[in-house]
Amino acid sequence: PPNRPAAVVVDLCCGSGAVGVALLTALDAVELYAADLDPAAVRCARRNLAGAGGQVYEGDLYEPLPVALRGRVDILAANAPYVPTEEIGLLPPEARVHEPRMALDGGADGLDVLRRVTAEAPQWLAPGGRLLVETSGRQAARTVETVARNGLLPQVVTSDELNATVVIGTKPTR
C-alpha cells in the first residue's frame, strides 16, 4: 500500500552506517536512527546516511537516541562487539590492526555489550518488533538465553555462505 507508515529502524553500534544503508535500500519506507560511541564512526556514518535521511547520534548504546522512540522501534539492529577480550589477538590483521578495539572487545566471554543491548531492547521495541544481533556460532546458545531471559522470543539464523550467525529476538505482541 502506498500510504504504509515508515518502519522505525535503529542501528546500534552503527560504525560506518553500512547496516543502516543496507536497511534503507532493502525496505520501502524507513525512519532510520543510528548510534555509535566512536566519534570517528559517527562522522563516517553521518556522511554515509546523510543523503538517505538517516539521523546519527554519538553516545553509548540507547543513551543518545530520542526518548520518543521508546516502544516504537520495528527493527533494532545491533552489531555490538562480541569478541572475547583474550581472543582479539587471534583475529586476522585486517580486523585486529584496522578496527578500533572498542568495536571488537566484547568482554571476558564476548557478550558484555550484547547483554546490555538485549536488557534494554524490550523498552524500545514496538510489539512484534525485532532485535537482530550478530554473534558467533559458538556464542549463539548463550545469546539465545540472554534474549529469552529479557522477554524476547529468540530465533537463530545462520549463513554458511557468509559465515554469519544472527540471533533475532521478537517482542511478543501481547
CA-based angle 137:142:144, to the nearest 5?
85
Please give the mean pLDDT across all residues of the chain.
86
Helix (H) or strand (E) holding 121: helix 112-124
Q: Given a cut of 90, is residue 127 above it in pLDDT?
A: yes
Cβ-Cβ contacts under 8 Å for 107 (sequence gap 6 or more): 84, 85, 113
Name the percent of the chain lying above pLDDT 70.
Answer: 81
Q: Which of 84, 144, 83, 155 is nearest to 118 (CA)?
A: 144
pLDDT tens string 128-153: 999 999 888 888 899 999 999 999 99
pLDDT classification of 118: cutoffs 50, 70, 90: very high
pLDDT tens string 58-87: 999 999 999 999 999 999 999 876 665 566
How deeply is 89 buried, as exposed, middle or buried, from its count of CB atoms within 10 A (0-12, 13-18, 19+)?
Answer: exposed
C-alpha cell at 123: 523498552
What is the reported pTM? 0.86
What CATH number labels 7-170?
A: 3.40.50.150
Mean pLDDT of 90-113: 64
At 107 the pLDDT is 57
Rounded to an integer, what distance in angstroms lies between the CA atom of residue 115 and that of residue 6? 28
Q: Given a cut of 70, is residue 92 above it in pLDDT?
A: no
